[in-house]
Amino acid sequence: MCEKVRAVIRTIRRHPFRRSFGLILTAVTALLLASCGSAPSQVQSAAIIGDHVVRLDDVQAEIKWLLDHAPQAQQAQQQGRIDQVSSEIVRSRVVHELLAVAEERENLSVDETQVNELIEASGGLDEAARNIAVEPSRVRDVARDQLLLEQLGQHYQNRLSVHFVGAMVTQSDVQATDSEVARDLGRRIAADPANAEAILRDSGHRVVDQTVTLADALVQDPELAISAVFGAEEGSVVVIQPSQQQVGWLVALIKDRTVRPEADDQAEAQPIDPRLLYWAGLRQLQPIADELGVQINPRYGVWDDTGLAPAPSDDEVTGYQWESRTVQP
């Protein structure tokens, strides 16, 4: 996870319960600025999500508008980082498509009055467009998406729990970095998930066998709550850096991912800052992305499964994910 996201979490802890259209969307932008047959044609597409297409022409038109009007884009161009602005536009549009699926499946809805209030609180449509670096025609969609993501996070807050077995990898040697050691361990577990604990122990790692609810994680370990641990499907193996504050990579086999019945939504929940619910909701788009498949036009890099965003290359993704042999067809 990017340090920019962690900075938002630290801000949330210092200043809880402040909803800000600009803060969340600027932080998302910063996340990327910091660092055949009848199927849709990728040549003419910026991204393909299942059978939905993000048109390349639309992305290019938005880039042009931003270069003419948005200070963030103008500064990025001056610093030679316009490709990162393009990646953020693609990310936002992919999220919009994934969220449309979640909205239908989970019967989510947004009060349009709240959308209006969010835009007005950000200075109106034109000011919001410049501040969050999206063209005016998309401001309403982006504002609505923010509210839907907060709602999606809340929707899963009391319903989702994950049981995983894994270990923290902190060692490196002359032959491999800690990242390479973790990836090798992840591949071995994916190839033989029934013996995950033995593989971990034989490799000299302390086994972590844990069941965590999303509700508890949001309070006790927000970085874990918005990580791929809570987004990966049952049977998956993930290799991620759960915290910039601690050295190491978490290698985890998701042994069980349980979503309790809708009726449990009525259970009493501890209030959570809307900004953190936004990130938790965003993470719940990961199973949909994995199910539908996300392809990115190579000019924008590759889709990072664990980062839920484009990455410049396969060597620059934020984490790794494999299906174990128990779930492969």
- Decide if pLDDT at 266 tops 80: no
Residue 32 near residue 310 (C-beta atoms within 8 A)? yes
Nearest-angstrom CA–CA distance, 231 and 212: 13
Consecutive H or E run containing 323: strand 319-323
Q: What is the mean pLDDT of the chain?
A: 88
Strand partners of residue 54: 47
When comparing pLDDT for 237 and 18, which is higher?
A: 237
Per-residue pLDDT, averaged over 45-54, amounts to: 96
Q: Taking a C-beta distance cutoff of 8 angstroms, is the pair 160, 240 a contact?
A: no
Q: Tell me the two tokens of residue 260.
A: 């309790």
Q: Is the pLDDT of residue 35 over 60?
A: no
pLDDT band at 329 (very low <50, low <70, confident <90, very high): very low
CA distance 2 to 204: 28
Q: State in Å, rounded, how far the first CA of the chain is from the last one.
A: 30
Q: Which two three-digit tokens encode residue 123?
A: 């200075």
Tokens for 154? 């809340």
pLDDT of 245 higher than 80: no
pLDDT of the residue at 242: 84
Q: What is the pLDDT of residue 246?
A: 75
Q: How many CB atoms lie within 10 A of CB 78?
A: 9
Closest CA to 250 of 189, 160, 314: 189
pLDDT computed for residue 171 by the predictor: 80
pLDDT at 306: 96
Q: Where are the alpha helices (DSSP H) in the chain?
A: 3-14, 21-34, 56-69, 71-78, 82-105, 112-121, 125-132, 136-157, 178-191, 196-202, 214-220, 222-225, 274-283, 286-292
Task: Walk across the sheet containing 160-169 and list its strands.
Answer: 208-213, 160-169, 249-259, 236-240, 319-323
pLDDT over threshold 80, residue 104: yes
Residue pair 52/97 in contact by the 8 Å Cβ criterion: yes
Which of 35-39, 181-185, 225-229 shows the lowest per-residue confidence on average (mean pLDDT)? 35-39
Q: Average pLDDT, stretch 163-186?
A: 90
For the residues 51-61, what does the mean pLDDT come to?
A: 96
pLDDT of residue 33: 46
Q: Tokens 């600025």 identify what position? A: 33
Note the pTM of the prediction, 2 decimals.
Answer: 0.85
DSSP for residue 15: S
Indicate the range of 1-15, 59-73, 258-272, 305-319 predicted with least confidence.
1-15
